[in-house]
Chain A
């Protein structure tokens, strides 16, 4: 079995007075696509932010390829080869598309070349000099994913990449993620869209009230699916 790229143990996080994560524990192995599923407010996005070091306060243990990161500042964590695609996409209005694409510094060798990125996302190649936020929602999402593929980071944290997008774009993003998996990227995916997640992930962690309450493998789709539906039913 492949070694864990990301190990989270007893992770707690706070926003000011409010205690959001209550002992999250899970791990992601090399080359896996793993999802965090759960209702709104369960703590999925906060978990991603805590891994990147951008929540105000966190305790516990987060190891990236064996390196303890819980005391590191965000820019040191990113340099370990981990990249984040935030829920709000984070495309910069004061940068054009090309500048947005080239913004994240290369943190490791082996990132995708510009040609490979444009092969993956042909729409972007035509709009390089547009203002970043003038792109459609789907194009912004592609840009947000594309720019982290350039950096050589092999562990990707994708926060709801399909949120609010048209079905045809969701399919394109699904194909992209599968392709990245084939190329050996390790992906931690936060999703509300369970049907999307079920088709591409190896394992699912169910998050409730700031902790992992269940783990469901892709193999046990039959009985597992019923459990999932029960967890996610509103």
Chain B
């Protein structure tokens, strides 16, 4: 068997793939958090719960209505994004101009309430969600076995992240978004309906989390706490990448997933903490994050 640095190649590439998959979820979730933080100045602690809602919506669509994976990929983000719009309109809107702490308490409390409701209804043990038939099986690449569904997750999340980045950096809509992140008052005085843009941006960030949730459903168990476990790491990713940086959250998300995967190969005991160690080092050396603007 081929060995690289004393590790069997299939084990190394297997962990690398696992790292990429985790990284894909880190990237999609931290991207949504970055977009929301940029415009709303709110650290959305409900994000993990909204990711979970996406997975559950897919599960409910399948088990209650017989609607499959592909439609869920579209419908679940729409539905969860709509609940996000309601949350922004009814609750978050009232926090504009207040200290960060209020947003943190509100969104964290909301996450607890949502998770509690789902746990009450579905219990704590995970529910299975099958891989869609089109994506079952895998490819033997010679040096490793690549399951089709996992390859799909990496590719589609990369595409979604890059599309989001392109829209924000290269389009007229994106220039409104960037400008409003800097100076919402002036942008509104130019004739752009900034409050509506804020609402839709929150809805989009939340829909992105739900989309990630649907992608995750066949890989992880669908369970009420699936987001709570993930979101802690995602916040570390956001801090490392630089709060509010779009490209930073994508690159850091995938990068840290890979670092975590490699650590599992070479020093398994450290794999659960390596991201937090990196976070501490980055905070010491570059408090604004790797891609954050220091002004």
- Interface set of A (CB-CB < 8 Å, partner B): 52-54, 73-75, 77-79, 83-84, 86, 90, 92-95, 99, 102-105, 107, 151
Contacts and interface: CB of A to CB of B under 8 A. Distances in A.
Interface in B186-200: 186-195
B172 A102 contact: yes
A210 to B, nearest CB: 21
Interface stretch (B74-82, B98-106, B173-181, B264-272): B173-181
A104 B189 CA distance: 9
A75 B186 contact: no
In this complex, the member of A75, A83, A95, A102 whose beta carbon has the largest number of chain B beta carbons within 10 angstroms is A75
Interface of B: 172, 175-176, 178-179, 181-183, 185-195
A106 B186 CA distance: 15
- The winner among B182, B186, B189 for most chain A CB atoms within 10 A is B189
A78 B189 contact: yes
A92 B186 CA distance: 10
A84 B189 contact: yes
Given A92-B182, A93-B182, A94-B182, A105 B175 contact: no
Contacts of B183: 90, 92
Contacts of B181: 94
Contacts of B189: 52-54, 74-75, 77-78, 84
A74 to B, nearest CB: 4
A103 B175 contact: yes
Contacts, number: 58
Contacts of B172: 102
Nearest to A80: B191
A139 B193 CA distance: 28
Contacts of B192: 75, 105
Contacts of A104: 190-191
Given A103-B175, A103-B179, A73 B188 contact: yes
Given A105-B190, A105-B191, A74 B178 contact: no
A54 B188 CA distance: 9
Contacts of A54: 185, 188-189
Contact of B193 (A75, A86, A90, A107): A75
A231 B140 CA distance: 86
B186 A94 contact: no
A75 B192 CA distance: 5
B188 A75 contact: yes
Contacts of B176: 103
A92 B191 contact: no
B182 A75 contact: no
A75 B178 contact: no
Contacts of A94: 178-179, 181-182
Contact of A75 (B175, B179, B191): B191
Nearest to B169: A94
B185 A95 contact: no
B178 A92 contact: yes
Given A99-B175, A102-B172, A102-B175, A107 B182 contact: no
